[in-house]
Structure 1
Amino acid sequence: MKRLQKCCCAASTRTGTLITAVLGIILSIATIVLVWVVKRHRITFSTFIFDEDFDRKLSDLDIPRIILTINLCFTILICSLLIVAVQKRRSWLMLPWVVLGIVLAIGLLISVLHTSITYYLDKEDHVLIATIILIGGLFYLCLYLYLWAVVFSHYLDVRDEEERGRYRKAPYRR
């Protein structure tokens, strides 16, 4: 993969990485608030593994909300770790975010496809909703992958800097 030199054609990859981490924290906090503030009948969780009665029992006990909140708290922790890694220029502190980022991208793709296909196959006519979910989800996935590429490029730059030493000559001048 070719490394990116700039984020959004203007900012450095370092700045783009910081913006990505701050956005991750803000979106995680907003999602936690949204999940716990919105009434239960507006948000439904289903496992697709167990039967519908078991899913309803889990939702009544707020188990899906608790699991989602714990996952988002870990996302906040990893984004905070990314901010510290950028400030201290430590590549190994960036690695959890890089790994989690690509796993989340795969999960997002599966989720968008599953949700839109479910709406397309629904007996009621939800073609418009399914199309909006598909197009919007794929757009969001592309944006997310671009921001992941920015962070990954910065990770590679910091890792290379650590390997050759911070104050040594550039490799082409040896």
Structure 2
Amino acid sequence: MQLKTCCRCCSLKTGTIFSGVCGIVLAVISLILIFTANVEWKTIIIDILDQTAVKIIFAINLCMTILISTLLIIGTIRKNTFMMLPWVVLGIMLAVGLFVSVLYTAIMFFINHEVINGVLWLIFGLLVVVVYTYMWLVVYSYFQELRIEKLSKRMGPYGKPYTYRRP
């Protein structure tokens, strides 16, 4: 499925830049929260890690998010699909990871008999997954649009590639 606009009111290019900016802003806010909020941070897979190690892992991931989102913005402005590719590839993996994380956390709330927290986490978490997936689809659609545009520039007027060279 390929979109034609972002939110039916903006171009895909604008939506792609917005996605990159949101990624940077949310990553910076998360970095600040990780090191200032008094919260016990856990990972799903490795539950025995020290809090400092978990914070460092999250911080590295957030720094990579800032880097990849910056590449997305620059790639969008320059119409460079190669620079956009890391965000496109990792974005869909993050959407799946976010979905799994939301389900896991909600299930853990239900297991611990915190039904209200589980329901709220499920509702808001799935809403975030839907919004994130939509924004990924906007970026992917613009990425595809640029690839098609590049391919059509290499084609002749009859849909065949130019194969001759000028002397």
* CA apart distance, 1:168: 7.3
CA deviation after TM superposition for structure 1 residue 5, in Å: 0.8
Q: Where in structure 1 are there 5+ consecutive unaligned residues? A: none
Which residue of 108, 121, 124 corresponds with 1:136? Answer: 124
Between the two proteins, the alignment pairs up a number of residues equal to 159
In the alignment, what sits opposite 2:42?
45
The percent of aligned pairs where both chains have the same amino acid is 37
Compared CA separation, residues 170 and 144, structure 1 to 2 (3 A): farther
Q: Work out the CA distance in 2 between the residues paired with 1:170 and 1:79.
A: 38
Give the corresponding residue for 2:97: 107
For residue 11 of structure 1, what is the amino acid of its counterpart? C
> Equivalent residue for 2:54?
64
One of 82, 91, 98 as aligned partner of 2:72? 82
Alpha-carbon offset, residue 48 of structure 1: 4.7
TM-superposition CA deviations, 1:57-79 (whole Å, max 9, x none): x11xx111011001100000000
Give the aligned partner of residue 164 of structure 2: none
Please state if 1:91 is matched with 2:81: yes
TM-score (norm 2): 0.89
Q: Which runs of 5+ in 2 are unaligned?
A: 160-167
TM-score scaled to structure 1, two decimals? 0.85
Q: Quote the residue 2:28 is aligned against.
A: 29
Q: 1:162, CA displacement in angstroms? A: 1.1
Query: 1:158 & 1:70 partners in 2: Cα distance?
Result: 30
CA drift at 1:164: 1.6
Check 1:169–1:68 CA distance in 2 against 1; reply closer, same or farther (3 A cut): farther
Alignment-derived partner of residue 10 in structure 1: 9
Distance 2:104 2:5 in 1: 34
> Structure 1 runs of 4+ off > 2 angstroms?
46-50, 166-171
The alignment's C-alpha RMSD in Å is 1.9
- Structure-1 separation of matches of 2:74 and 2:158: 25
2:134 paired with 1:119: no
Q: CA deviation at 1:170?
A: 10
Pair 1:12–1:35, CA change in 2 (3 A): same
